[in-house]
Structure 1
Amino acid sequence: MAVSRSMSPAISSPTTPFYHPSSSLSIFPKTHRPSHLFRTITFSTTSNFPRNSKTSTSVSGIWDAITGGAGSSREALIAIRRGMVLFRQGDVAGSVAEFDNAIQLDPRQKAYLWQRGLSLYYLDRFEEGAEQFRIDVAQNPNDTEESIWCFLCEAQLYGATEARKRFLEVGRDPRPVMREAYNMFKDGGDPEKLVDVFSKGRASEYFYASLYAGLYYESQNEADKAKVHLVASCKSPYGERLDDYMASLAKVHCQCRKWEL
């Protein structure tokens, strides 16, 4: 999930990893890190794909030629776009229905659908969410944010201590803020310190520090502290952007928790 997840569709291939501003998934890459999918809502076709976009396109193209599934692949991409729009509008259940539809149309998409995992978290379908993120990380062993979100799902299922024992270790994220966030979730840490360190940095860094500080507190069942940081992330300059899926997620989080912004 670069520090912004822009959403240009990428045709997924049955190989490689993903990036979130650090992630990249099958269809829409995130632009935070160097290997993730976009989480922005620009439905144009850019070359900011998660993995090696040339390999992805050629492999999926060959596969479609053999199976005659090119139409299904296009329909699946459209379904994912619809799901992302619905999520941003706060219709989380509707987004999952579209993501599931995309998988029916093109089963290859499931291995990269980080967007579905996020939606499942907000429907309290934590076991399915954790499964989705584990599948994602299996494709992209360098995806920091998918690792964290798997932890967040499993913390709700088993508690933070047990979830940490199951923590998915991934490669080094190029973004300092996500490296620190990853270490905090993996080993335990101080969310306040994370926010303080990046409070005077780039707008994107403050946003992500606040977002993940709030999510960390939620994993510890400290709702009041989680609210402070999630609301701060939404109100930050970066949180007002429309081109990053995670900025929308922060707002959806507050909406689901019935927190006023």
Structure 2
Amino acid sequence: MSISSTFSPTIKTLPIFSHTTSINSQSPFPVSLIFKPSINYSQLSISRRIFLPSVSGIWDALTGGTNNNSREAGLAIRRGMLLFRQGDVMGSVAEFDKAIELDSRQKAYLWQRGLSLYYLDRFEEGAEQFRLDVAQNPNDTEESIWCFLCEARLYGVDKARDQFLEVGRDPRPVMRQVYEMFKDGGDPRKLVDTFSSSRDGEYFYAYLYAGLYHEALGEEEAAKNYLVAACQSPYAERSDDYMASLAKVHCKCRNWSFSQTST
């Protein structure tokens, strides 16, 4: 997931937020943000999977706000993300909903909630969440794809593709090809062949989305092979990427073991 904005936050050489940061920290947003208005904002693309969980927290940091609800909402989001990583999908949604109750500004940015809703088969709510997110960030490839995944389960692949959310150009080559495959149709085998010898992250994302594409088409065995391969990749085993956790949660929800499979 990437975030584009009308301001440019510059992160100083302070401890950068990661999803493993303690939720008991007195400062839930350990970053320093500075306006740099000379930057071309249209080029800004920061991965929200390794960035702050609470967009409102950015604004509070910039404005000097001391909204207790905002801080509590940020902590609820962190708890929800932790629960999701641990496989407690229902518990994660409860925390994300709590964050929205505490600070309604969160709802339009909570892509994590949309992912959890998908695994609870709450596809209509998931699609709504991703559409809200894309309305705020029209350059987010992955949210567009996850909206499609939800709507494919609701209406079928053809209708979901008819109303596919078009977004800006992703800077990641693997995600550009993934986007085109979901938007226009394509061959997952070609996708993974292209990136099978690439960097760990590209290999992981190619296999992850190849599996999700097969699932959208109702092809369970192929989906299983690719998703298990994604989980077995070195990137998934050592990365703090939220999507690496998602691949494992996916297999857990489908009762797929991580035993070696072939693709």
Report TM bin, short chain: 0.7 to 0.9
Q: 2:119 aligns with which of 119, 122, 125?
A: 122
* Partner Cα separation in structure 2 for residue 86 and residue 139 of structure 1: 26
Question: Quick one: structure 1 residues 99 and 56, their matched pair in 2 at CA, closer, same or farther if it must change by over 3 Å?
Answer: closer
Match for residue 179 of structure 2? Answer: 182
* Equivalent in 232, 253, 256 of residue 253 of structure 2: 256
Q: 1:157 aligns with which of 154, 157, 172?
A: 154
Root-mean-square deviation (Å): 2.5
Q: Hey, what does 1:78 align to over in structure 2?
A: 75
Structure-2 residue corresponding to 1:227 = 224
Q: Which residue, out of 151, 161, 165, partners 1:168?
A: 165
Q: Deviations over 1:106-135 (max 9, x none)?
A: 000011100000000000000000000000
**Gap runs ≥5 in structure 2:** 3-16, 22-27, 31-43, 259-263
User: What displacement does 1:34 show?
Assistant: 2.1
Q: Could you tell me how far apart the structure 2 residues matched to 1:167 and 1:124 are?
A: 20
- Partners of 1:143 and 1:214 in 2: how far apart? 20
Q: Is 1:100 aligned to 2:101, yes or no?
A: no
Alpha-carbon spacing, 1:197–1:123, altered in 2? closer, same or farther (3 Å): same
Could you give the per-residue CA deviations for residues 5-28 of structure 1, whole angstroms, max 9, x where no partner exists? 9548769xxxxxxxxxxxxxxxxx
CA distance in 1, matches of 2:61, 2:133: 18
With normalisation by structure 2, the TM-score equals 0.79
**Residue type at the aligned position of 1:57:** I
Identity of aligned residues (%): 68
Do the aligned partners of 1:6 and 1:37 also contact (CA within 8 Å) in 2? no
Deviations 1:161-200 (A, max 9, x none): 1000010000000000000000000000000100000000
With over 3 angstroms needed to count, the CA separation of the structure-2 counterparts of 1:152 and 1:58, relative to structure 1, is closer
- Partners of 1:231 and 1:201 lie apart in 2 by 18
Larger radius of gyration: 2
Judge conservation of contact 1:195–1:213 (CA < 8 Å) in 2.
yes
Count of residues in correspondence between the two structures: 224
One of 22, 33, 38 as aligned partner of 2:49: 38
Q: Distance in 1 between matches of 2:78 and 2:18?
A: 12
Displacement of 1:239 in angstroms is 1.1
Counterparts of 2:82 and 2:62, CA distance in 1: 26
Q: Which residue of 1 aligns with 2:233?
A: 236
AA aligned opposite 1:251: K
Q: Deviations over 1:48-101 (max 9, x none)?
A: 569xx9x97346754946xxxx10001000000000000000000000000000
Superposed CA deviations along residues 24-47 of structure 1, whole A, max 9, x for unmatched, are xxxxxxxxx9234124xxxxxxxx
Matching residue's letter, 2:49: F
The secondary structure found in structure 2 opposite 1:135 is helix
Q: Specify which structure has the bigger relative contact order, considering alpha-carbon pairs within 8 angstroms and separated by 6 or more residues.
A: 1
Distance 1:60 1:161, change over 3 A: farther
